A and B are shown apart, each in its own frame.
Chain A
């Protein structure tokens, strides 16, 4: 850890870099912090699903969030650690039990799914990936990922088969990398890019800007704005990835989709919601059966 920090501290941007090693330094690491990004945890290996890493990563996230609650309860918290569909609910649970839960300040980073969506459309259709935006809703694993290709801007003309293939590829983009890395891990570089992109948005928002983004959030962050996505299939789920507008205090509002998803997409949202329900419940179950010692 000192090595990474020393390396990075030589870069000639103006931020100062400090390092903290080990559990005993965790609260020092968090003192005075505005934004916490959590990527800690083990990576998937071929054959593993995101749920296989669940126990290890669940306990890591729980411990870190407890420290955040104790040291910087007003920080914006962005989670990368998988399985996101469960770790974000775990984080919410910890914050609630510490009486510092604010649904507007908690985010699961799903940016990589949007990035993959734009890039994979370019792979098959040659369009400018940097200009293309595809809304992605639902969760952050396999069939809980729902890219809304019919609402891409600029519009992309796709046959049903093309759409199905693209959806499949976007949903299992992570597996593609795990397989290619052949035991050496999962996506790191593209995930770092995605994480940095989302964190930049948080930084700008904390700095006073209003920023459009997407993330896996507690729908309680904007109960009113959540109506649309509930009606479309999120139903009574507590968490769902949606387009949001960020400001100084975190999620300002959920941004409505400006069209109805097509039949294929509505079906995909249904399937996603069913799996998500289990993933979220698994997170809650973990917390209920691992009562903290406080």
Chain B
């Protein structure tokens, strides 16, 4: 049975995410940490009749306890985007938050799996990696940027265009990063072939890439995606939990390619080049990343172009994250 810590549990993503994790039968202990409001959230959730024990940890003084004895830390903590903000605008605030949280995990549960939701993921995951390296506990197989929402959106948006498609069953590989044009949906490699004109492919790709902006705009100042993000985060967490139990599970996620240098070759050749991090389909096991799963077919010309564009932007995002920790 698994102990999970949610860091940022009282926030817009944290609350529904905590609810969904409390419903997960594979969780035996749920540690909810935040800097405000978490005792109320924990009391609320602790009433749900599943077996996980819920504990609340409030404030920096309780952070170490929050991340002691845990197998998985999920980090949604941070400020949300507002209209006009890009993910990089929130960078400074969220970078500091992620650094502090990962330092505590490195100190207290260095072998824990870490799933980062806090944006900008393209930079916060490299920040996490650098922190773990500086403490001598970095394991590329145990650090994940959560990109599941892009995959979820891909399936759903295909259905919006093709109403006969079963959105829950359709799997569209999504590679690259987790913001705007670093998101590369490989629609040509969908689990069920979908026939799309070039125009439709462009529109769909754009919609998936900027799905986050769609929600930020609709929320009109009240925040960014919380509910769908919680769903995606819980889905990814569930895959990690099942993998910990020995099940073989495939999930797309943003990882350090060092987790499987052999498997990474294909993606490097397709355009990831010498990037340290890239979102790829991964087979998960009890040790985290077991291997990167090959695509099985060549992406289309349009998609290869998109990977090129993504890689350029990603290189900058990654460097921003690394520089934040290491200095110049």
Chain A contacts to B: CB under 8 angstroms? 2-14, 112, 114-116, 118-120, 122, 128-130, 132, 173, 176-177, 179-182, 184-185, 187-190, 192-193
Residue ID in chain B nearest A118 by CB atoms: B49
For residue B188, CB closer than 8 A to chain A, the reply is no
Q: List 29 A-B contacts (CB under 8 A).
A: A3-B220, A3-B223, A5-B218, A6-B214, A7-B225, A7-B227, A9-B156, A10-B156, A10-B211, A10-B228, A12-B159, A12-B170, A14-B168, A112-B47, A115-B47, A118-B49, A130-B25, A132-B49, A177-B40, A180-B39, A184-B40, A187-B47, A188-B15, A189-B15, A189-B18, A190-B44, A190-B45, A190-B48, A193-B19
Q: Are A192 and B49 in contact (CB under 8 A)?
A: no
- Per the bound structure, the CA–CA distance linking A7 and B222 in Å amounts to 12
Residue ID in chain B nearest A178 by CB atoms: B40
- Nearest chain B CB to A127's CB is how many angstroms away? 9
Among listed B95-103, B147-155, B267-275, interface-contacting one? B147-155
For residue B201, CB closer than 8 A to chain A, the reply is no
Neighbouring A residues of B44 by C-beta, 8 Å: 177, 180-181, 187-190
Residue ID in chain A nearest B18 by CB atoms: A189
For residue B26, CB closer than 8 A to chain A, the reply is no
Neighbouring B residues of A122 by C-beta, 8 Å: 49, 51
Q: Known: A3-B215, A180-B40. Contact between A10 and B48, CB under 8 A?
A: no
- Per the bound structure, the CA–CA distance linking A53 and B44 in Å amounts to 20
Q: Are B222 and A3 in contact (CB under 8 A)?
A: yes
Residue in contact with B49 in the complex, picked from A4, A115, A177, CB distance below 8 Å: A115
Instruction: Among A114, A116, A176, A193, find the residue whose CB has the most chain B CB atoms closer than 10 A.
Output: A193
- Per the bound structure, the CA–CA distance linking A116 and B48 in Å amounts to 7
Neighbouring A residues of B166 by C-beta, 8 Å: 14
For residue B202, CB closer than 8 A to chain A, the reply is no
Neighbouring B residues of A184 by C-beta, 8 Å: 37, 40
- Nearest chain B CB to A109's CB is how many angstroms away? 15
Neighbouring A residues of B231 by C-beta, 8 Å: 11
For residue B226, CB closer than 8 A to chain A, the reply is yes
Q: Are B51 and A6 in contact (CB under 8 A)?
A: no
Q: Are A8 and B15 in contact (CB under 8 A)?
A: no
Neighbouring B residues of A112 by C-beta, 8 Å: 47
- Nearest chain A CB to B163's CB is how many angstroms away? 9
Q: Are A129 and B51 in contact (CB under 8 A)?
A: yes
Q: Are B215 and A7 in contact (CB under 8 A)?
A: yes
Chain B contacts to A: CB under 8 angstroms? 15-16, 18-19, 23, 25, 37, 39-51, 149, 152-153, 155-157, 159, 166-168, 170, 211, 214-215, 218-220, 222-223, 225-228, 231
Neighbouring A residues of B214 by C-beta, 8 Å: 6, 10
- Nearest chain A CB to B170's CB is how many angstroms away? 8
- Per the bound structure, the CA–CA distance linking A112 and B168 in Å amounts to 29
Residue in contact with B23 in the complex, picked from A114, A128, A187, A193, CB distance below 8 Å: A193
Residue ID in chain A nearest B40 by CB atoms: A181
Neighbouring A residues of B219 by C-beta, 8 Å: 2-4, 6-7
Neighbouring A residues of B40 by C-beta, 8 Å: 177, 180-182, 184-185
* Residues of B contacting A: mostly: helix
Instruction: Among A4, A128, A176, A190, find the residue whose CB has the most chain B CB atoms closer than 10 A.
Output: A190
Q: Are B167 and A189 in contact (CB under 8 A)?
A: no
Closest 8 CB pairs of A and B: A3-B219, A181-B40, A180-B43, A6-B218, A118-B49, A12-B155, A12-B167, A12-B156
Q: Are A193 and B155 in contact (CB under 8 A)?
A: no
- Per the bound structure, the CA–CA distance linking A157 and B2 in Å amounts to 29
Neighbouring A residues of B39 by C-beta, 8 Å: 180, 182
- Per the bound structure, the CA–CA distance linking A192 and B25 in Å amounts to 18
- Nearest chain A CB to B54's CB is how many angstroms away? 10
- Nearest chain A CB to B103's CB is how many angstroms away? 29
Q: Known: A130-B25, A177-B40. Contact between A13 and B50, CB under 8 A?
A: no
Residue in contact with B43 in the complex, picked from A5, A7, A177, CB distance below 8 Å: A177
Neighbouring A residues of B149 by C-beta, 8 Å: 10
- Per the bound structure, the CA–CA distance linking A118 and B51 in Å amounts to 10
Neighbouring A residues of B153 by C-beta, 8 Å: 10, 12
Neighbouring A residues of B228 by C-beta, 8 Å: 7-8, 10-11
Q: Known: A3-B215, A7-B226, A10-B228. Contact between A192 and B47, CB under 8 A?
A: no
- Per the bound structure, the CA–CA distance linking A180 and B46 in Å amounts to 12
Instruction: Among B37, B218, B219, find the residue whose CB has the most chain A CB atoms closer than 10 A.
Output: B218
Neighbouring B residues of A114 by C-beta, 8 Å: 49
Q: Are A181 and B223 in contact (CB under 8 A)?
A: no
Neighbouring A residues of B211 by C-beta, 8 Å: 10
Q: Are B156 and A189 in contact (CB under 8 A)?
A: no
Neighbouring B residues of A192 by C-beta, 8 Å: 19
Residue ID in chain A nearest B166 by CB atoms: A14
- Per the bound structure, the CA–CA distance linking A70 and B40 in Å amounts to 39
Residue in contact with B47 in the complex, picked from A8, A11, A116, A179, CB distance below 8 Å: A116
Neighbouring A residues of B226 by C-beta, 8 Å: 7
Neighbouring A residues of B43 by C-beta, 8 Å: 176-177, 179-181
Neighbouring B residues of A12 by C-beta, 8 Å: 152-153, 155-156, 159, 167-168, 170
Residue ID in chain B nearest A114 by CB atoms: B49
- Per the bound structure, the CA–CA distance linking A35 and B228 in Å amounts to 23
- Per the bound structure, the CA–CA distance linking A250 and B220 in Å amounts to 39
